Structure 1
Amino acid sequence: MYTMDAVEFNEKVMKGHFRKIYPEIARQVINRTGVITGRCIDLGGGPGMLGISIAKITMLRVTVVDLMQECVELVRQNSLEEGYGHRVDAMQGVAEELPFEDRSIDLVVSRGSIFFWENQQQGLAEVFRVLRPGGWAFIGGGFGTLELLREVEQLRANDPEWSRKRKERMTKNPPEHYRALLKRLGITGTVEHEEAGTWIIFSKPEEVKP
């Protein structure tokens, strides 16, 4: 996604420019879903800052799933540094083939990774499969608030490539695209879009069988 390695991305972006957005997104996720116990997946979570932020305000056991082994190692490092190594772990994996049993997860979150999934429809189907009845998904990309977006834009003002790629991802993945995916999968949910971000939000009905 960026012309820097995982360690540099962790330090300069996740702990730097984007540092403030993860606690805010975590707060929004929990306020919306009400999920505070059980198991959570931070899908495509990179170095795990969203998952760690969620662990800080809940009792959830969080597993960060990422394609890169370097990110798995960074999650473990970051969670230990933040004092949450006992509730935040990581493993390699992809959205299209989640290494979890049916109906085993209470909350799936993902910020910024769906744009890079090989097959978005299959990835969303997998998320639905692993959710327990009553479980929630909060997937998309955003900055928490418009004010935080403006802060990030200021910090990245000398990086026009970042702005170009962000606009390109938004153009290729409009809200209508995600609504169509949910419809094809038979998933009842919402796609909320505003300047600060776009989020796919759904809950697995209690009566649905795996």
Structure 2
Amino acid sequence: MDFDVKTLDGGSDGKITVSDEIFGLEPRQDLVQRVIRWQLSKRQAGTHKTKTRGEINATGKKMYKQKGTGRARHSDRKAPQFRGGGKAFGPVVRSHAHDLPKKVRALGLKHALSAKARDGKVIVLASAETDATKTKALREKLAGLGLANALIVDGAEQNDAFVKAARNIPHLDLLPVAGINVYDILRRDTLVLTKAAVESLEERFK
């Protein structure tokens, strides 16, 4: 599979050939869904918590005598059925993370890249570099490329001026190639890869 390589100014910089094993697969939604679920579950804080009856700050005195009242037999007011009592079977602090095999995660990334390539939503840039840290100038260049909602993936080292100019642009994410992931690829409309990023992905999945 070949991609046209563009410059940040909208010009052409030749073509680049990529592996069909990375960008030419028939996308499987089930694999992509499993990886996204794994990502979001791992990200979830899990700090939700309610108090049990043992954690309520209240007296432990028995409400009334056991027998002779004609009412139900109760101990203290910290029981769940009373106002201000503990919560029965409430959420506790825990991790929502679950395991997913490394091969499935790698395959999910390939299918996410293939899905973008099939939809024609992949743009390859010669480089993501700029001399001046000017957000307005960079936004105009990206608008010229038709990038209103995009993820830009650069090589291992990112251009500092480009990162500073891009961080205030809405609906634009910037990642090094080591941080590329399925969720961020699919949450943006267009995937922009630099030549360095493409070469790193080819080497990674070789």
TM-score range, shorter chain: under 0.3
Select the structure of larger CA radius of gyration: 2
TM-score by length of 2: 0.27
Higher relative contact order (CA 8 A, sep 6+): 2
The structure richer in strand per residue is 1
